[in-house]
Structure 1
Amino acid sequence: MSTPYHSQYWAHALTLRGSGSDIAALSRSIANARVDLNPHQIDAALFALRSPFTNGAVLADEVGLGKTVEAGIVLSQRWAERRRRILIVVPAMLRKQWQQELSEKFFLPSEVLDSRVFNGLRKNGLANPFDMKDKAVICSYNFAAAKTAEVSKVPWDAVVIDEAHRLRNVYRSRTRLQNNPAARKTMAHRITDSVGKAPKLLLTATPLQNSLLELFSLVSVIDPHVFGDIASFREQFINNPDEVSRNLQLKQRIAPVCTRALRKQVTEYIPFTNRVPITQEFLPTEEEQSLYDEITTYLQREVLYALPASQRQLITMVLRKLLASSTVAIARTLRRLADRLENLRGELDLLDDEDIDGVDELADEYEEDAEADTEGEIDPEKLEDELSDLRRYAELAARIGHNAKGDKLLPALQIAFAKAQELGAARKAVIFTESRETQLYLYDLLNANGYEGRVVTINGSNNQPHHATIYEQWLTKHAGTDRITGSRAIDMKAAIVECFRDEATILVATEAAAEGVNLQFCSLVANFDLPWNPQRIEQRIGRCHRYGQKHDVVVVNFLNLRNEADKRVYELLSQKFKLFDGVFGASDEVLGALESGVDIERRIAEVYQTCRTNAEIQAAFDALQAELDAKIQARLAATRQALMENFDEDVRARLKVSREKTVECLSQRERWLLDLTRVELDGQAQFDPQLPRFLYSGADARQGWYNLDWKAAETSDEHFYRLDHPLALRLIERAICRKLPVAEVAFDYTNHPSKISVIEPLVGQSGWLEVSKLTVAAVEVDEFLVFAAITDHKQVLDEEICRKLLSLPATIGPEITEVPDLADRRKAEVAARLGEIDTRNAQLFDEEVLKLDRWSEDLKLSLEHEIKELDKQIRELRRTSALAQSLQEKLDYQKQLRDLERRRNSKRRELFDAQDAIDQQREELIGKIERQLKHTSTVQTLFTIQWTIV
C-alpha cells in the first residue's frame, strides 16, 4: 500500500509550477482539458510559451486544425500560473462560441462584454468592466476599438486576437498617421495600441496575403524589436532582388514568433472528410414574387419614415433576410413597422426583440449610418401613404398560405437523406434558418408531413413547450452529475442537442446552433436561408463538418430561380468561396482575403438596395467578383510557403516526439492523481481495479462515480475527475499541508508486479531520502522536487532511482529522532538544477541579443539608406548641371547641389548621433533582460525518511 509520504510527494509533483515551454509543466494544463488533443496543438502551445521575451506568437495553422484549442491550452497554462487578466478579441459572431469552448473544454470562466453587459456592470459599481480578475473577457473587434480607454488601463497577462489577419495592414495606418497626425486611427490601430506590450496570441490561417508588409505588421504587433522600421524592411526584404537569400533571412527572423502546421502534415492524427453539395431549386409563386418586388421597391425609396435614419442600413439588411426567409417571417415584422409608424414611437425596438437570432452581433459589426438620428420634418401625406403600403404588404404576406421554398424542403430532405445513407451516415439533419418565425413554420410543416415527434428546434430563447419537456427530462436523467451546470441557457442547449442526437431526426436551428455546438454526429446540413456572409456559412457547416466527423457531410442549399441577385450570390459563395464542396470548404486564401465577411455582406446588400434591373445586378456582381478575384489570387502563395512552412519530415518527427512525451506525461499524472486519491480517500471510496475510476461515498463532494477519462465520464454521466476538480484540489491541499515526521519506511519490491532494473541491486539495503522543493523566481517561477538520497554505505542515489523508489508500495515504521546531514547532497542537486536554468536562460538571452542586434542594424541601415539616396540625387544633379547651357541654369543647379550637400552632411552628423542613440537603446533593452534573468531561489524540505527495500 502507499503511504502519506507517497501522497505528499505526488501532491507536490502534480502542482509544481514551471515554464510552459516544457511538456512536463504544460501537461498540468493539458490534463485538465476535455478535448482530444493532437500533437500539432501541443507543439503550437509549447511554441507560444517557449520564451518569456518573445511577448507572444502568431499561430498560423491552416483552417480546421484547431487554433482555438491551441490558444485554450496557452490560456489554461496562464490561468494555472494565476495570470488571469485575459482579453480575447474576436469577430462578433464568434464571441459565444469562444465562451462555450473555454468553459466546456478548458473549464475557464469568461464574460462576453457588449454594450448591454458593460453598462450593467458599471451600474453595479464596477468602474472598468474589462478589469476582471476571475474571468477572461471576450469582446468583438468593434467593441474593443470603441473602448480603448478602458482596455488600455488593464495590465493584461494575455491577449488573444482571433482572425488576426484583420490587423495585417496596421502598418498602413501608422504610416498615414505619421504623415498626417490629424488622420483617424483605424480599428486595428486602436486595438493594438490599447493592448500595448501585453503578451499576445494572434490566430490566423493567412498571415500573408498580398504583401510582405502584412507580415511586418503582424510580427511587429507581437514584438516591435523583431524588425527595425518599414524603410529598412522594404530595403532588405522587398527591394532585395535575391529572392532565395531574402526569404531565408526573413524566415530566420520570423521563426521565433510564427508557427504554422498544414493539414497534410497531420493526416496521421486527424482524418478529414468531404462536403457533398446538393442544390434545391424553387420558383416562387406569383403572390410571393409580387410581395418580393413591392417590398424591394419600398426599401429602395429615398425617404422611409418607418426606419430610424441611424439604423436604416442595418434594418434594411434584416428585412431582406426575413423577406428571403418566408412570408410568415416578413409578415410579423411588417405589422410591427406599421405599428411603429402609426404611433411614431421614436426608437424602433426591432433590434431588441427581433426573430433573427444574432442580430445583436450583426449590429455590433455595423457602424451607424452617417445620417442623423432625428427624423426631420414629416410630410403627413407621405407618412399616410407609407403606412397604407406597409399594412397592405403585411396583409399580402399573411394571405400567402404556402411558400414555394418550404414546399421544396420535403423532397430535398428525401434526396439528402438518401445521399447521407449512401455515405454510411445516420439519418440526422440540421436545417438552418435566419428567422424564428420561419423556424416555427418549418417545425409545423415537418411535423405535419411525416416527421411528427422527430423534430426539435434550437434558438436564442428556447421557450417553446417542447423545449420545457426536453429540459425536464434531461434534468431528471442527469441529476447529480457534472452535466448540469446550473445555467438554464447552457443546460437547455445541451438538453436539446442530446435529444437531437439520441431521439430526433431533424433539428431546425437559427444562428444560435452555429455558436459553440458540436453536431459531429450529424452529417447533413440544410441552409434553408443562406447568409451572405461566407464566414457565417463556414461556421454553420463547421458544426457538423469538424474534427471527429466520420462521414462526408451533405450540404443542401435552396436557390430562387426567379431572382437574379440570389443566383449570383449563390454562384459567388459556391464557386469563388468554395464553401460547399471539397475536403474542408473555403480555403485559406479565400477566407484570408476577406478580412471580414461582413464587408462582403454589405456589398451584396448594396447590390440588392441599389440595382433595379437584371442588367444592373449582373454588372454589379461582375464588378464585385472581379474585385474578389484580385484578392483571392493570393499572389504571394509561393512566398508564404517558403517563409511559413517547414519540411514535412522535420514536422512529422517533431510531432511524433511531442506526442510520445505528452502521452507519457499525462499517463504519469493520471497515475499520480489516482494513487494520491486512493491514499487520501481510504475508506471513503471503492476503486475500479481495471479502469481509472472510483465510487466516492464521502461528504466533501458529490457522491457517485468519478472517472479520469473524460470521454468515458461523458458517455456514462460520471464526474470527470481532474487535477482542478474541487475534490482533487481538496485532497491535494490536505496532502501538502500534512506534517510528516522522520520515520522508517519499508518499500516492498519483492511483491512488485514488474521489474525495475535500477532498484534490484538495492534490495536488502537501507539508507536515507530527503525530498525538498526548490523554487526559482526570475521572469517566470519554476519549481522542482530535489532528492537528496544515500545508502547506509554512502552510495549516492540519483533522481531516477528516488522516483522509482517512491513508486513502490510501502509500510511505515517507527519515528526517528537522529538524522544524518544531507545538506551537501541537497546543495549539489540544487546547484545542478540552477545550472540547467542558467543554461536555458543563457540560450534565451543569446536569442534576445541576436534579435536586438538585428533590430539595431535595421534602424542604422534605414538611416544610411537616406544618405545613400541623397548621394544618388547629388550625382544625378551634377550630371544634369554639366549639360546646362545658360549661366542662370548653372547657378540654379549649383544652389540645388549646395542644398542637397548641406542636407547630406547634416544627415551624416545626425547618423552618428542616431547610431549612438540606437546603441544606447539596445544596451538598455539588454540590461532589462539581464535584470529579468537574475533569479532568486528558496529550498523547502518536505519530508525525510529512513528507507529499506525488502
Structure 2
Amino acid sequence: MLSTISAYHAKFFAYELTRQLPANDVGKLTASLQDAQVDLNPHQVEAALFAFKSPLSKGAILADEVGLGKTIEAGIILSQQWAERKRRLLIIGPSNLRKQWNRELADKFYLPSKILESKSFNEEIKQGNFNPFNQKDNIIICSYHFAKNKAPYLESIKWDLVIIDEAHRLRNVYKPSNKIGNAIKDALAHCKKVLLTATPLQNSILELYGLVSLIDPYIFGDLKSFKSQFSRLVDQENYDDLRNRLQPVCKRTLRRQVLEYIKYTERIPIVVEFSPGEDEMQLYWWVTEYLQREKLYALPSSQRQLMTLILRKLLASSTYAIYGTLDALVKKLDAKVERHEFNDLEAINDDFETLEEIQDEWSEEVENENSIIEEIFTEQEIEELKEEKSDLEKYRELADKIRKNSKAEQLFTALEKGFEALQNLGANKKALIFTESRRTQDFLYDLLEERGYKDMVLKFNGTNNDPKSKEIYKAYVNEHQGTDILTGSLTADKRAAIVDNFKEEATIMIATEAAAEGINLQFCSLVVNFDLPWNPQRIEQRIGRCHRYGQKYDVVVINFLNKKNAADQRVYELLDVKFRLFDGVFGASDEVLGSIGNGVDFEKRIASIYQQCRTTDEIQSAFDSLQKELKPDISERIQETRQVLLENFDEEVREKLRVNLIESKEYLNKFEERLWATTKYYLKGSAVFDEDKYAFRLTQNPFPQENIHRGPYMILKPEDGKRKSEIEVPDDTNIYRVGHKLAKRILKACKQIETPNKVLVFDYTNTPTKVTALEKYVGQSGWLQVNHIEIASFESEDYLTIACRTDNGDIIDNTLAQRFFSIHAEHNNHTIDVTSVVSKHLDEITFAENQNIISENANRNKDFFDTEMDKLDQWADDMKISLEKEIRDLDAEIKLRKAEAKKMLNLESKIKAQRVIKELEKKRSEKRQHLFEAQDVIDVEKETLLEDVEKRLKQKINLNTLFTIKWEMI
C-alpha cells in the first residue's frame, strides 16, 4: 500500500478510477462493485458482463437458478448504467416485489428509485409532469399490470435499459391472448431489456421463443417457422442450432457450480400428523360427494375445474375457510332463483387471494367468466337447483357447528417442535406460518393470541388492513418520516413495516400467498405450511423466503399430514420424495420445477384424482400412474432439453468463475488502494486517517461550498477472509466509495491538478510493494508521458497510455510503465524542458500505443457488426422456411390436380377442375408475394442496421496529454 503519492500519482489514479472500459473487460464493473455494498460473487460479475457484452445487443435473459442473486446481478448492471450517466432506467415486476427492489437499490447500490402506482402517478401529473415515467433522477419501478395499463406512456420514452423481473410470467407472449405480455412487448420494442427468470423453459419449447422475442424479434423467425424447426427436438443438429441461437442471449448458472463461493444451509423437515374429528370427516365426504356430481348449478361449466380446485383447497385449510365459500355458493343459488346478479368469485377472492392469478393460469377454463348470459331454468331445473341449495345449506350449517379444528390443535405441538429445533441451531425464535385462506389466517391469529402467544403474532396478506397492521404502519411512518426509507407507496411501505416488526419484535407471522414472493425473511428459520399447496413452485417460493442467500442457519420446514386421507398422504409423498422440497441443501431443483411447467398442469392432475377417485384403491392406483408418468418427464425429457440448450459443463463454468474471481479481486483491490491513496493525498491536512481500518474523519471541509459530513468515513475493504456483508460498520459511519459525493469531488479535483514537466524520483528501495520487473531500472533514468485517449464509436471508452523510455532510448512497454505508479515518488519544485528528440520519440511511442487501441476497438466493432448481420441472415432464412414449405406443398397439389384433370373425359368436370387449379395457383402467387415482402422487410432491417452502424462506426478520437516527467529510479 502506498503511504505517500505525488500529484502525478493522484492525477493518474483519478483518471484511472473514473475511466470507462470496453464491454468485454472484467474490470468494467469494478467501480460499480466498489460502489455497491454487495459481496463479490464471480457468477454475478459474469452475468452482468454478459448483459453488457455487445453494444449492438438488444438485451439478455439472466436465468441463474433460484437463490443465486439475480437481483444483485441486475443491480450491478443498473449501477453501471447510472455511472455512465444513462439514467432512463425502468424495472417491471410483480407488484409485491416493488418494495424489495426499492430497498435493494437504496441499501446495496445507493441508487434512487421511485415506485409508480396510481397514487404516485397522479401526483406527478398534478405537479406538472405529464409523463410520470419521465424522471431522470430516479430509476422507475412498476408492476406488470401498471406497465400494461400505462403502455402509451412507456412507449414514448427512449429507455436506456429495462429490467423485467420474474420474466417467466411473460413466457406466453407469443400467444395473442396474452394481453399483458404483448402490451409490454409492443411498448418496449425499441429498448434494451434484461429479463430475470430462474425457469426460462418450463412447459414448452415455445416459451423460449416467447421470452427471446421480448429481447430481440430477429433471433428467430416467426412462430410458424420456429415450430417447424424446433417444436420437435429429435436430432442433435436441431439441438446445436437452437443452442447456438440461445447462447448469445441467455446466461444460466446452477447452484452446484458456485458452491465454492456461496455457502448454503440445509432444510430440516418435520411432519406433524393429525386425525380429523367425526364432524370434520363428515363435512369432507359431503363436500367431496357434492363436487363429484355430474351437474352443479353453483359451479357453471366454464368455471367448474377452477372452482372445484379452490373448494378443495379451502376444505383442506379449515372449516372456517370452507364455511365462507359455502355461504357464497348458497347466496349465488338464491340469486339465480330470484334472477339477480351475485358475484361469488368476488366473495371468494376476499378469502382466497391467489384467485386472480390462478384464473389467469387456468384461462382456458374461465375465458367466458365475464360474459353475461341470462340463464332461463325449467321448473324441473328450479327444483334441482333448490335441492342443491338445500344440500349446501346443510354443509354450511355443519361447517359453522364445528368449533374444534384438529389440524389447528396440532399447530401448538408443531411450534413447540419447531422452536426446540431453532434453539438447538442457535437461531432466532421466529416462525412463518403459511395458509391459502384469509379466514383461516384470522382464525389462527385469534387462536394463537388466546393460547400463549398474546401480542406476539402478526398477519401478512394482500391488503394488511387489520387494526394491528395499521398501528404498525403508523409507528413505522412516524419513525422514518423524512427519510429515504419511506417510498410514498402505501402498499409497499405497509408491507415493509410489517416485515420490520416481524424482524424486531413479533415471534410469529401468519402469511397468505401474498408473502410467498418478494420479501426476504432470512432472519427467520422456521416455515410452517399450515395448508400445503399442490403446486410445487408455490411451496418452493414459500420456503425460499427464509432459505435463501444470507440465511445463517438451517431452515426447519413443518408440514401437516391428515392420517385419514389417502390422497393427502400421496400428495405429500410426491412433494417430499419426488420433488425433494423439504430437505437437503437446495430443495426442489429448477429442473424438477421446470418439468412441471408453472405447476398448474401438475395441480390439475392432482385435482382430477381427488375429483374422480372414490375409493382408497382408486386413489392409490391413480397416484401410482401419475408417479410413473412423472419419472421420465422429470428425469429425462425436460431436464435433458434444458441442460443441452441452456447449461454448460460444471467444470468449464467453475474454471471460468475461478479466473473471474481472481481477476475481479485484483481489479477491486487495486481500485480500492488507489481510491484510498488519492483520498489521503487530497485530504492531507484536512482529515485524520486510520490506516488499519481504512477509515478517516474530516477535520475541515475541503469543499466549503458544499454540505459535506465530517465523518467518520470507512472503505468496506474485505480482508482476512471476510466479505463486505460481514464487516461490522458502526452506526454513525459513512460508507466511503467512489460514488460518494466526497469521493467524486476529490477525483474531479485531482484530475484538474497542475502537473508541469518535472523530475519524479521513484523510491523503489523503500517501497514495501516490490515489482520485480522494475528492479533492473534502479539507478537508471528516462522519460515518461501519460496520455488520455477517448474513443466514441459503438460505445464510449477511454484509456490511459504511457509512453516510457530510458535515457538510453530503450522503450518500456505500456503495461510495465503503468507499474511505475505503484512505487513511492517525490518531486522538487523545478520545471524542466523536454528536448525535441525526446518529444519526438515519446510521440512515436504514443502513436503506436494509440494505434493498437484504435485497432482493437475497430476489430471488436467489426465482430459486433458481423454477429448482427449473421443474425439477420439467419432470421431471413427462418422467415423463408415456412413460406417456401407452403409453396412446395401447393406446387405438389397443383401438379396432382393437373394430372387428374387430364384423365377426365367430361368437359364440365374438366372446367371445374381447372377452376380449382386456378384458385390454388392464385394462392401460390400470394404466398410467393409474401415471400418477396418478407425479403423486403429483411432488406429494410438490414439497411437500418447499416445506417446505425455507419453513424456509430466513425470513431471520434480525442487525445489529451496529462503530463510528461523525467523519471529516476533509486
TM-score, normalised to structure 1's length?
Answer: 0.79
8 A Cα contact 1:20 1:26, kept in partner: no
Structure 1 pair 321–638 and aligned structure 2 pair: CA distance change class (3 A): closer
For residues 130 and 954 of structure 2, the distance between their equivalents in structure 1, rounded to whole angstroms, comes to: 37
Counterpart of 1:674 in structure 2 is 676
Most deviating of 125-134 and 685-694: 685-694
Is the counterpart of residue 729 in structure 1 residue 731 in structure 2? no
Change in Cα spacing, 1:733 to 1:333, as seen in structure 2 (3 Å) is farther
* Equivalence for 2:590: 588
Output the CA distance in 1 between the equivalents of 2:205 and 2:447. 54
Does the 8 Å CA contact 1:786/1:830 hold for their aligned counterparts? yes
Segments of structure 2 that go 5 or more residues without pairing to the other structure are 299-304, 329-341, 375-391, 702-707, 718-723
Q: Does 1:86 align with 2:89?
A: yes
| Aligned 1:213-292 pairs, distance under 5 A | 213-238=206-231, 243-282=235-274
Aligned counterparts, 1:440-519, within 5 A: 517-519=519-521
Q: Is residue 60–residue 250 contact of structure 2 (8 Å, CA) maintained in 1?
A: yes
Q: Indicate the SS of the match to 1:276.
A: strand
Q: Separation in 2 of the partners of 1:840 and 1:475?
A: 55
Secondary structure of 2:128's partner?
Answer: coil
Task: Name the SS for the 1:806 alignment partner.
Answer: helix
Matched to 1:692, the amino acid is: Y
2:725 matched residue in structure 1: 711
Find the counterpart in structure 2 of residue 196 from structure 1: 189
Which has the higher mean CA deviation after the structures are superposed, 791-800 or 46-55?
791-800
Question: What corresponds to 2:660 in structure 1?
Answer: 658
| Residue correspondence of structure 1 range 97-176 to structure 2 within 5 A | 97-173=100-176
Residue aligning to 2:775: 760
**Kept in 2: contact 1:764–1:949 (CA 8 A):** yes
Can you list the C-alpha shifts for 1:521-549, whole angstroms capped at 9, x where unaligned?
A: 54321234556775554333112212344
Q: Given residue 221 of structure 1, which amino acid in structure 2 is its aligned partner?
A: L
Which stretch of structure 1 is more off in the superposition, 193-202 or 466-475? 466-475
- State the alpha-carbon separation in 2 of the partners of residues 365 and 894 from structure 1: 49
C-alpha separation in 1, matches of 2:520 and 2:792 = 42
SS in 2 for 1:171: coil
1:837 Cα deviation after fit: 0.7
Alignment of 1:833 with 2:853, yes or no, is: yes
Mapping of residues 841-852 of structure 1, within 5 Å: 841-852=861-872
2:894 to 874, 892, 913: 874
Aligned residue identity for 2:186: D
Measure how far apart 1:517 and its partner are: 4.6
Q: Tell which deviates more after alignment, 545-554 or 255-264.
A: 545-554
Q: CA deviation at 1:152?
A: 1.5
Q: Distance in 1 between matches of 2:934 and 2:502?
A: 68
Q: Which of 851, 855, 878 does residue 858 from structure 1 map onto?
A: 878
Q: Residue 706 of structure 1: CA displacement?
A: 1.6
C-alpha distance in 2 between matches for 1:751 and 1:760: 12
> Residue 25 of structure 1 corresponds to which residue in structure 2?
28
**SS at 1:646's partner residue?**
coil
TM-superposed CA distance for 1:691, in Å, is 3.9
Residue 319 and residue 112 in structure 1: after superposition, are their counterparts in 2 closer, same or farther (change >3 A)? farther
Equivalents in 2 of 1:253, 1:223: separation in Å? 12
- SS of 2:798's equivalent in the other structure is strand
1:69 to 67, 72, 96: 72
Deviations along 1:418-458, whole A, 9 cap, x unmatched? 55567786765444467899879867876886778987887
Contact 2:780 2:806 in 1 (8 A): yes
Aligned counterparts of 2:23 and 2:10: Cα–Cα separation in 1: 25
Q: Which residue of 2 aligns with 1:797?
A: 812
Cα distance in 2 for partners of 1:519, 1:256 equals 35
- Residue by residue, what CA displacement relative to the aligned partner does 1:292-338 show, whole Å, maximum 9, x if unpaired? 9999999999999xxxxxxxx999999999998789999999999xx
- Alpha-carbon distance in 1 for matches of 2:915, 2:455: 93
Matched residues in 1 for 2:311 and 2:920: separation? Answer: 63
Mapped pair 1:14 → 2:17: yes
Task: Give 1:111 shift.
Answer: 2.8
Give how far 1:936 is off: 0.7
Amino acid at match of 2:772: S
Residue by residue, what CA displacement relative to the aligned partner does 1:338-389 show, whole Å, maximum 9, x if unpaired? xxxxxxxx999x99x9999999999999999988899x9xxxxxxxxxxxxx
What is the CA–CA distance in structure 2 between the aligned matches of 1:328 and 1:232, rounded to whole Å? 53
Identity level (%): 46
**SS of residue paired to 2:822:** coil
Question: Is the 8 Å Cα contact of residues 202 and 596 (structure 2) preserved in structure 1?
Answer: no
SS at match of 2:142: strand
Does residue 937 of structure 1 match 2:957? yes
How big is the alpha-carbon RMSD for the aligned residues of Structure 1 and Structure 2? 5.8
Instruction: Name the CA shift for 1:124/1:470 in 2 (closer, same or farther; >3 Å).
Output: closer
Note if contact 2:464-2:470 (Cα within 8 Å) is conserved in structure 1.
no
Q: 2:787 maps to which residue?
A: 772
How many equivalent residue pairs? 926
Unaligned regions of 5+ residues in structure 1, if any?
174-183, 305-312, 337-345, 377-389
Find the aligned partners of 2:119 and 2:311 in 1 and give their Cα distance.
Answer: 24
Shift of 1:796: 3.2
The equivalent of 1:638 in structure 2 is 640
Give the letter aligned to residue 256 of structure 1: P
How many Å apart are 1:56 and its aligned residue? 0.7
- State the shift of 1:577 in Å: 6.2
Contact kept? 2:472, 2:498, Cα under 8 Å: no
Which letter maps to 1:88? I
CA distance in 2, matches of 1:567, 1:921: 58
Query: Structure 1 residues 412 and 843 mapped into 2: Cα distance closer, same or farther (>3 Å)?
Result: same
Task: Measure, in 2, the Cα distance between the counterparts of 1:775 and 1:261.
Answer: 35
Distance 1:586 1:534 in 2: 8
**1:314–1:877 Cα change, 3 Å:** closer
1:767-802 C-alpha deviation (Å, 9 max, x unpaired): 443333222112211111222333444443332233
For 1:37 and 1:731, locate their aligned partners in 2 and report how far apart those are by CA, in whole Å.
Answer: 26
| Structure 1 residue 872, shift from structure 2 partner | 1.9
2:800 maps to which of 762, 767, 785: 785
CA distance in 2, matches of 1:109, 1:624: 54
Answer whether contact 1:284 1:560 (CA < 8 A) is retained: yes
Classify the secondary structure of the residue corresponding to 2:773.
coil
Give the Cα separation in 1 of the matches to 2:659 and 2:653: 10
Summarize the Cα distance change of 1:171–1:324 in structure 2 as closer, same or farther, 3 Å threshold: closer
**1:828-867 CA-partner distances (Å, limit 9, x unpaired):** 3322221121121122122222222222333344444343
Q: Check conservation: 2:62, 2:252, Cα contact below 8 A.
A: yes
Given residue 220 of structure 1, which amino acid in structure 2 is its aligned partner?
S
Superposed CA deviations along residues 91-145 of structure 1, whole A, max 9, x for unmatched, are 3343333333333333333333333433343344332233332222333333322
Residue by residue over 1:888-939, the C-alpha shift from the partner in whole angstroms, topping out at 9 and shown as x without a partner, is: 5455445544554566578668867865774564344334323322221112
Kindly state the Cα deviation for residue 172 of structure 1 after the two structures are TM-superposed. Answer: 3.7
Partner of 2:709: 701
Match status 1:2 vs 2:17: no
The change in CA–CA distance for 1:712 and 1:3 in structure 2 (over 3 A counts) is farther
